[in-house]
């Protein structure tokens, strides 16, 4: 147990006014069949040696359990989902709309509802692929106000520009892998060389 704050208020355990400790406690529980460890926050009454949870603490402790589970099974945590959305500067409602999900889906995923693996994969793709975000934005343009569309477009375009080197590296790698595994590589090369003849001076035998 670690003390993280002290506040003076009426204690709901002993019903006296005194200094209450706000403490962090490392706990474990079983969620969806998985044992998870997490940090919970409580009020602590020194006199009765008992813990109390405010409504806010109950909510935060529940999210801590869900996030511990998400980490254990390899899903994005609620904070990671929030970070993806913040990166694009898009609201919870609009990201749900962009992905064709229910209006409250992202709000729930940033809170108490654990996303399924299919939706998790889509969120990871949005995170790593601004080009895909731009395609989705274009497809769903009529669902946004012009100013909102422009705002999302310029942010995603900037992210796309920053990812350009990554896209290029992937393309080069994919091309190399294709050439490596394709026996027609040399034939393709000759064919391409022949196409070059059109509108150009003929290639000599060495070039072909």
Candidate ranges 12-20, 81-89, 179-187, 195-203; the one touching Zn ion (CB under 5 A): 12-20
Q: What's the rounded Cα separation, in Å, for the pair 108 and 100? A: 15
Q: What's the rounded Cα separation, in Å, for the pair 108 and 147? A: 26
Is position 22 an interface residue for Zn ion (rule: CB under 5 A)? Answer: no
Is position 157 an interface residue for Zn ion (rule: CB under 5 A)? Answer: no
User: Any idea which residue has 């990166």 for tokens?
Assistant: 87
Total chain residues near Zn ion (CB under 5 A): 5
Q: Which is nearer to Zn ion, 52 or 77 (CB)?
A: 52
Q: How far is the CB of 3 from Zn ion (least distance, A)?
A: 15
Candidate ranges 10-18, 21-29, 72-80, 183-191; the one touching Zn ion (CB under 5 A): 10-18
Q: What's the rounded Cα separation, in Å, for the pair 124 and 180? A: 29
**CA 96, 72, 3: angle at the middle one, nearest 5?**
95
Q: What's the rounded Cα separation, in Å, for the pair 160 and 82? A: 19
Q: Which is nearer to Zn ion, 51 or 132 (CB)?
A: 51
Q: What 8-state DSSP symbol labels residue 112? A: T
Q: Collect all residues with Cβ–Cβ distance below 8 Å to 101 and sequence separation of at least 6.
A: 119
Binding flags for Zn ion, 29-58, as an x/- string (CB under 5 A): ----------------x-x-----------
Could you give phi then psi for residue 35, rounded to 5 degrees? -80, 120
Candidate ranges 7-15, 73-81, 111-119, 133-141; the one touching Zn ion (CB under 5 A): 7-15
Q: What's the rounded Cα separation, in Å, for the pair 161 and 181? A: 31
Q: Collect all residues with Cβ–Cβ distance below 8 Å to 187 and sequence separation of at least 6.
A: none
Q: Which is nearer to Zn ion, 21 or 63 (CB)?
A: 21
Is position 13 an interface residue for Zn ion (rule: CB under 5 A)? Answer: yes
| Count of positions (residues) in the chain | 208
Q: Which of residues 51-90 bind Zn ion (CB under 5 A)?
A: none
Is position 21 an interface residue for Zn ion (rule: CB under 5 A)? Answer: no
Is position 14 an interface residue for Zn ion (rule: CB under 5 A)? Answer: yes
Q: Which residue sits closest to Zn ion, CB atoms considered?
A: 11
Is position 11 an interface residue for Zn ion (rule: CB under 5 A)? Answer: yes
**CA 185, 164, 175: angle at the middle one, nearest 5?**
10
Q: Which is nearer to Zn ion, 50 or 129 (CB)?
A: 50
| Contact set with Zn ion (CB under 5 A) | 11, 13-14, 45, 47
């Amino acid at each position: 147990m670690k003390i993280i704050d002290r506040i003076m208020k009426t204690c709901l355990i002993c019903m006296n006014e005194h200094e209450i400790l706000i403490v962090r406690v490392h706990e474990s529980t079983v969620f969806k069949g998985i044992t998870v460890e997490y940090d919970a926050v409580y009020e602590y009454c020194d006199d009765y040696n008992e813990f109390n949870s405010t409504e806010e603490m109950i909510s935060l402790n529940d999210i801590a359990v869900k996030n511990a589970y998400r980490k254990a099974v390899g899903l994005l945590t609620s904070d990671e989902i929030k970070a993806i959305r913040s990166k694009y500067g898009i609201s919870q409602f609009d990201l749900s709309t962009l992905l064709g999900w229910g209006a409250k889906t992202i709000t729930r995923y940033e809170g108490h509802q654990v996303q399924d693996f299919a939706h998790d994969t889509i969120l990871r793709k949005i995170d790593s692929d601004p080009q895909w975000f731009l395609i989705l934005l274009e497809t769903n343009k009529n669902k946004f106000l012009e100013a909102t569309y422009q705002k999302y477009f310029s942010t995603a375009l900037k992210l796309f520009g920053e990812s350009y080197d990554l896209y290029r590296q992937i393309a080069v790698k994919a091309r190399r892998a294709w050439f490596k595994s394709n026996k027609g590589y040399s034939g393709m090369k000759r064919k391409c060389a022949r196409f070059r003849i059109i509108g150009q001076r003929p290639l000599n035998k060495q070039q072909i």
